[in-house]
């Protein structure tokens, strides 16, 4: 009766907005020990809005935003979308942009009017030992804001802070997983301060921050040590290798194609709370099979 029960549970799953691509992974979901969540677009809504614009001396607010806006029009990262929205709202002009390049997990760079303009993370600033107003940065990061730095030929033009909103349903899913004794872990490329802010608010068991894209799957394999079973849930291109490495890979339906194609289960309604249904249904179908 095994297979019949399974196909029934698969159709129940479909009615709950779960698309099962790998039944074996789904069936094993009842015994997972840890769930790793991506932050942006998974635990948070992934809709950044610009909250602060802090130009360096001699730079105007609109010049700072115009530089970032021009370069970010080339990217579809959630941060880029937030900056582009702010540029559009203010009716800023877009400079010609050439030689656009992604700096994996650090930001991006392009040629604008014969100068090199980059928009980068605090981690990249520290790596390249470019100094900035730490106090003002800390104050914004403390509030959970993501701060990016705009450079022109490696010279700081200013900081732009953006805020994202934690999904209302994330509180519920984390609380219930904690109650089930499942470890809840957030893994993000974003800065430690911001990550800890979100981690504290949600009551996560562990926060892994400033993870470069190529390190995500390695982190999952570390978490699998000692026979622990790990599920991973994410939405981005960056998350795909980690989804593949996990025992149960779960993609947000509204996420990028690569994440969706790699996942074992897709959350059609793009709501992380549906993870609870995966565990419930897999438990129920396991009980019926044994």
Single residue of 66, 109, 146, 256 touching ligand ADP by CB under 6 A: 146
| 257 classed as catalytic | no
What's the rounded Cα separation, in Å, for the pair 79 and 222? 29
Strands (E) across 140-194 are located at: 146-152, 155-163, 183-187
Residues in 230-259 at the binding interface with ligand ADP, rule: CB under 6 A: 236, 238
Binding span for ligand ADP by CB under 6 A among 88-96, 101-109, 259-267, 278-286: 101-109
Residues written for the chain: 290
Contact between 145 and 136 under an 8 Å Cβ cutoff? The reply is no
Contact between 107 and 100 under an 8 Å Cβ cutoff? The reply is no
By CB under 6 A, residue 167 contacts ligand ADP: no
Distance of closest approach, residue 70 Cβ to Mg ion, in angstroms: 24
Mask for 214-233, x = binds ligand ADP (CB under 6 A): --------------------
By CB under 6 A, residue 273 contacts ligand ADP: no
Distance of closest approach, residue 1 Cβ to ligand ADP, in angstroms: 43
By CB under 5 A, residue 82 contacts Mg ion: no
Tokens at residue 280, please? 């419930």
By CB under 5 A, residue 41 contacts Mg ion: yes
Cβ-count burial 55-87 (b if 16+ within 10 Å, e if not): bbeebeebbbbbbbbbbbbebebbbbbbbbbbb
Residue 262 CB neighbours (<10 A): 22
The size of the interface with ligand ADP (CB under 6 A), counted in residues, is: 22
Footprint of ligand ADP (CB under 6 A): 38-40, 72, 75, 77, 79-80, 105-108, 119, 121, 146, 148, 188-190, 213, 236, 238
Which residues are part of the catalytic machinery?
38
């Amino acid at each position: 009766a095994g297979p019949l029960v399974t196909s029934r549970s698969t159709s129940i799953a479909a009615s709950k907005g779960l698309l099962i691509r790998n039944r074996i992974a789904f069936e094993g979901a009842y015994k997972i020990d840890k769930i790793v969540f991506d932050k942006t677009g998974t635990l948070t809504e992934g809709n950044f809005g610009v909250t602060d614009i802090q130009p360096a001396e001699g730079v105007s607010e609109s010049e700072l935003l115009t530089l970032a806006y021009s370069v970010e029009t080339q990217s579809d990262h959630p941060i880029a979308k937030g900056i582009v929205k702010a540029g559009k709202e203010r009716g800023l002009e877009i400079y010609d942009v050439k030689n656009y390049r992604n700096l994996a997990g650090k930001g991006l760079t392009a040629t604008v009017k014969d100068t090199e303009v980059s928009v980068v993370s605090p981690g990249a600033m520290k790596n390249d030992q470019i100094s900035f107003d730490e106090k003002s940065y800390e104050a914004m990061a403390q509030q959970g804001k993501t701060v990016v730095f705009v450079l022109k030929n490696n010279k700081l033009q200013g900081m732009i802070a953006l805020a994202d909103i934690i999904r209302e349903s994330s509180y519920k899913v984390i609380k219930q997983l904690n109650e089930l004794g499942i470890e809840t872990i957030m893994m993000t490329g974003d800065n430690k301060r911001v990550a800890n802010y979100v981690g504290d608010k949600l009551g996560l068991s562990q926060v892994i921050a400033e993870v470069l894209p190529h390190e995500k799957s390695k982190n999952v394999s570390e978490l699998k040590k000692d026979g622990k079973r790990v599920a991973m849930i994410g939405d981005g291109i960056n998350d795909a290798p980690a989804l593949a490495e996990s025992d149960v890979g779960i993609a947000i339906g509204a996420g990028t194609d690569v994440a969706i194609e790699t996942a074992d289960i897709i959350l059609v309604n793009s709501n992380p709370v549906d993870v609870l249904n995966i565990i419930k249904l897999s438990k129920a179908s396991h009980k019926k099979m044994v």
